């Protein structure tokens, strides 16, 4: 299978399925054990119904997760999977992907798993650009440990561990990812299956590490955290749907637009008028530099979530770690021939005893 004929060139090394697949093929026989009403159900269904689209041999797909509610994900997919330990999924998946370029490796993680205990592995996976698709379920709370604030919780959050309000300033996961040299950064929402799948598709097409932040509702410990982005009354004014090559406009009648401040280079939202309509920023996900993508990640208000961009913020090609690693191995063989153990052990300085 050559890259030209593959629907997903980034997966050209992964064997294709012999026959068409359906959502049913990707459901495991395990009972799903999330709380009723959890946003994870919607994401699971979206992923299960998306995977057949890839057309990959199911046995060549692997989901690796850490610890947390979202990290139970692999158990419910009939692929290969590993439910590992807290925060380490990107590291484990890196070893798997780097040693097996014929696999499609996905990481499922949460805001605590990826950004708190596993923050180091996340940023290093992103900078290395291993062929991993990282799905970061962000519910802005610790669910599995029953409701402590997380590294994405808003300041002042009242939780079991912060009765007078949390003090820590939160991470913006996409700003962090861009700072870590991520080549692919996107955001979507659990309840919008169409958008979620379009982002998964773009992530799958990307060669290298893709980070997809999925806003996910925890209806037990942080219910309604993303209502501003979901309620018909508010969502149009809150959500900025990014489309590559299109002016960034949103709100009722597309009356709002994103503009660049010529003085600072920063981005701001303003009403679109006849005078400024031609100055609305045109989204370029493939821009070489990360500056504008970074500015987009800073648009949203942390408390109200107004002006939250969703879609693909950045998608640029960078050298892919696992491919380069294989290339070095191939080069070594080309230059020195396949390794010969007897020659290696003998070395250059030897003597004989008769």
Query: Which residues in this chain contact another protein in the complex, by CB under 8 A?
Result: 15, 28, 30, 57-62, 64, 74-75, 77-85, 88, 91-100, 102-103, 120-121, 124, 325, 328-329, 331-333, 335-339, 341-342, 344-347, 349-354
CB nearer to another protein: pick between 262 and 337: 337
CA-to-CA distance for 153 and 52, rounded, in angstroms? 35
**In the bound complex, what is the minimum distance in angstroms from residue 79's beta carbon to another protein?**
6
CB nearer to another protein: pick between 264 and 352: 352
CB nearer to another protein: pick between 86 and 241: 86
**Kind of pairing between the strands at 104-110 and 132-138:** parallel
CB nearer to another protein: pick between 42 and 103: 103
**In the bound complex, what is the minimum distance in angstroms from residue 125's beta carbon to another protein?**
9
| Residues in Cβ contact with 228 at an 8 Å cutoff, skipping those fewer than 6 apart | 234, 235, 238, 304, 305, 306
**In the bound complex, what is the minimum distance in angstroms from residue 261's beta carbon to another protein?**
36
CA-to-CA distance for 214 and 39, rounded, in angstroms? 10
CA-to-CA distance for 351 and 347, rounded, in angstroms? 11
The 3-state DSSP class for residue 62 equals: strand
CA-to-CA distance for 73 and 65, rounded, in angstroms? 7
CB nearer to another protein: pick between 164 and 342: 342
CB nearer to another protein: pick between 194 and 351: 351
**In the bound complex, what is the minimum distance in angstroms from residue 322's beta carbon to another protein?**
9
For the beta carbon of residue 206, count every other beta carbon within 10 angstroms.
26
DSSP string, 268-333: EEEE--TTTGGGSPBP-TT-SSSHHHHHHHT-S-TTT-TTEEEEEEEE-----HHHHHHHHHHHHH
| Residues in Cβ contact with 210 at an 8 Å cutoff, skipping those fewer than 6 apart | 132, 133, 134, 183, 184, 186, 202, 203, 204
How many angstroms separate the Cα of 236 from the Cα of each of 114, 239, 298, 307? 29, 6, 19, 10
CB nearer to another protein: pick between 100 and 244: 100
235 bridge partner residues: none
Length of the chain: 354
CB nearer to another protein: pick between 264 and 351: 351
| Residues in Cβ contact with 346 at an 8 Å cutoff, skipping those fewer than 6 apart | none
CB nearer to another protein: pick between 72 and 195: 72
Q: Which of 241, 214, 227, 209 is nearest to 93 (CA)?
A: 209
The 3-state DSSP class for residue 114 equals: helix
CA-to-CA distance for 179 and 126, rounded, in angstroms? 9
**In the bound complex, what is the minimum distance in angstroms from residue 113's beta carbon to another protein?**
13
């Amino acid at each position: 299978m050559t890259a030209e004929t593959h629907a997903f060139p980034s997966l050209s090394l992964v064997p294709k399925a012999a026959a068409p697949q359906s959502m049913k093929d990707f459901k495991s026989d395990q009972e799903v054990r999330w709380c009723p009403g959890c946003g994870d159900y919607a994401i699971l269904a979206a992923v299960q119904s998306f995977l057949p689209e890839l057309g990959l041999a199911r046995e060549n797909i692997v989901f690796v997760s850490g610890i947390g509610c979202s990290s139970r994900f692999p158990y419910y997919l009939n692929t290969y999977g590993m439910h590992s330990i807290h925060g380490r999924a990107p590291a484990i998946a890196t070893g798997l992907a780097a040693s097996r370029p014929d696999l499609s490796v996905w990481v499922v993680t949460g805001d605590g798993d990826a950004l708190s205990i596993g923050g180091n592995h996340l940023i290093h996976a992103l900078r290395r650009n291993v062929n991993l698709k990282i799905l970061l379920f962000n519910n802005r709370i610790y669910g599995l440990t029953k409701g402590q604030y997380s590294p994405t919780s808003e300041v002042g959050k009242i939780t079991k561990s912060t009765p007078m309000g949390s003090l820590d300033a939160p991470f913006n996961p996409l700003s962090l990812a861009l700072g870590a040299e991520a080549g692919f950064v996107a955001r979507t929402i659990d309840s919008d299956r169409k958008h979620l799948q379009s982002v998964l598709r773009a992530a799958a097409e990307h060669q290298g590490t893709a980070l997809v932040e999925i806003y996910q509702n925890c209806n037990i410990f942080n219910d309604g955290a993303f209502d501003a982005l979901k309620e018909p009354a508010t969502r149009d004014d809150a959500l900025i749907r990014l489309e590559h090559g299109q002016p960034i406009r949103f709100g009722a009648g597309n009356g709002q637009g994103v503009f660049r401040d010529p003085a600072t280079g920063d981005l701001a939202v303003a009403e679109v008028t006849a005078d400024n309509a031609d100055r609305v920023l045109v989204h370029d996900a493939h821009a070489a530099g990360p500056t504008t993508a970074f500015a987009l990640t800073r648009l949203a208000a942390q408390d109200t979530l107004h002006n939250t961009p969703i879609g693909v913020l950045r998608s640029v090609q960078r050298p892919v770690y696992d491919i380069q690693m294989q290339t070095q191995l191939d080069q070594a063989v080309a230059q020195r021939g396949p390794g010969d153990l007897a020659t290696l052990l003998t070395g250059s300085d030897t003597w004989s005893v008769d």
